[in-house]
Chains A and B, each alone.
Chain A
Amino acid sequence: MEHEFVLGTEEALKKHYELMEKFPEMEHADANMIRVDPGKTGEVLWRFTKTGEVGFACLFRGISMPA
């Protein structure tokens, strides 16, 4: 199945995860995320401007998401 890589803070990822459950057809085309077909790879180019831990998740159709 497809997976999305989404960079974000934990709070924002959780918030978006809840929205994705409500609107499973929602698609994204943002710089901080990429959708990848099974067996494929994709790239996100990012410049981190703060130190600390940054979460990532797959929010696609409520499949999976980190805490």
Chain B
Amino acid sequence: MEQVSIYSPAEIPDLQLLHACFRTRTFPRHGHEGYGGGVIEQGALGFHYRGENVVAPAPCDIRTIDPLVEEIVTMISKKNMSLIFCGLVAISGPALANGIQSAGDGHGDETIGIPGEASQVDRTVKIEMNDEMRFIPSRHGQTGRDYTICSEEFGGNGTRVCFGNRGGTQKAL
């Protein structure tokens, strides 16, 4: 049974703790948003890291997380594998649970959805971005620039978001 628990101790709210149990799970190339460390309680963890394939077997193998290095992780345990990680900022990349929160940090209870399947796509939205677009944050109740997708409109079985990079020109793609 796969389980993922993410929580923060009341005494240290900025610290995020992850306790996960996986059986068969592969995470594609991803990075992390902060430094962290963890212990594999049982099972084994295989990963591609800094150009090398590494196996971190249990028990008590200690893993560190470097936010500037990407990795590919494969759970290779024949039995359930469990691990505990902690860090000042949680893991980014693919969701550890079924839902991905947003912006890649993969945690939290406000999910925006799950990766879609090409065979289930029933609607398409086109979005273009150019070099002139800039972040204008909303501050102190003021409304900033708003770039949003209405999920009611695109909330079918699957949405294909076609994203075009117009660069510095006004030429339509």
Q: Which residues from chain A sit less than 8 Å from chain B, CB to CB?
A: 1-3, 5-9, 11-17, 19, 23, 25-34, 36-59, 63-67
Contact = CB atoms under 8 A, between A and B. Distances in A.
Nearest to B110: A9
Contacts of B163: 3, 5, 34, 36, 41-44
A49 B114 contact: yes
A52 B33 CA distance: 27
A16 B143 CA distance: 19
B155 interface: yes
Given A28-B93, A30-B100, A65-B135, A8 B112 contact: yes
Contacts of B57: none
A67 B158 CA distance: 25
Interface of B: 28-31, 33-34, 67-68, 70, 89, 92-95, 99-105, 108, 110-118, 120-121, 127, 129, 131, 133-138, 143-152, 154-155, 157-169, 171, 173
A14 B137 contact: yes
B104 A16 contact: yes
B127 A45 contact: no
Contacts of A40: 164-165
Given A54-B151, A57-B135, A49 B111 contact: yes
Contacts of A64: 129, 133-135
Contacts of B111: 49-50
Contact of A36 (B31, B157, B165): B165
A13 B113 contact: no
A46 B143 contact: no
B17 to A, nearest CB: 18
B66 to A, nearest CB: 10
A29 B28 contact: yes
B94 A58 contact: no
